[in-house]
Amino acid sequence: MNNCIFCKIINGEIPTRKVYEDDIVIVIMDTDPSQNGHMLVIPKKHYVDFTELDDEILIYINKIAKKMKDLIYEKLNADGVRLVNNYGLYQVVKHYHLHIIPAYKNKQALIDIDEVYNKLK
């Protein structure tokens, strides 16, 4: 999938703010966050959407999402998270990814993404 922006990120062709990486997934900061700490869990293998994922990879992605929730709670003092998977019309990048979007009791203004990234590292 040589035109896929996420494949290019995974292959190191496009720089990113990487929060976590292993042999199966990469977790990056969303470049257009809706909340401070908004990140994406992206499988390294190209799947267009969640209908292509087998149960094993779906379970693994959710396992990593739980780890990222713990990180967000610890480093950003979040009060909750939303896990969002867009499909069809709502899916802008056609490479499966899971949004992890922190929630805060007290509304926060968005701060510089690098400042948030440095807190999570």
Which residues are marked as active site? 97
Cα 30 from Cα 37, distance rounded (Å): 8
DSSP state, residue 99: E
Phi, psi of 101 (to 5 degrees): -120, 110
**Gap between the Cα atoms of 17 and 6, Å rounded:** 13
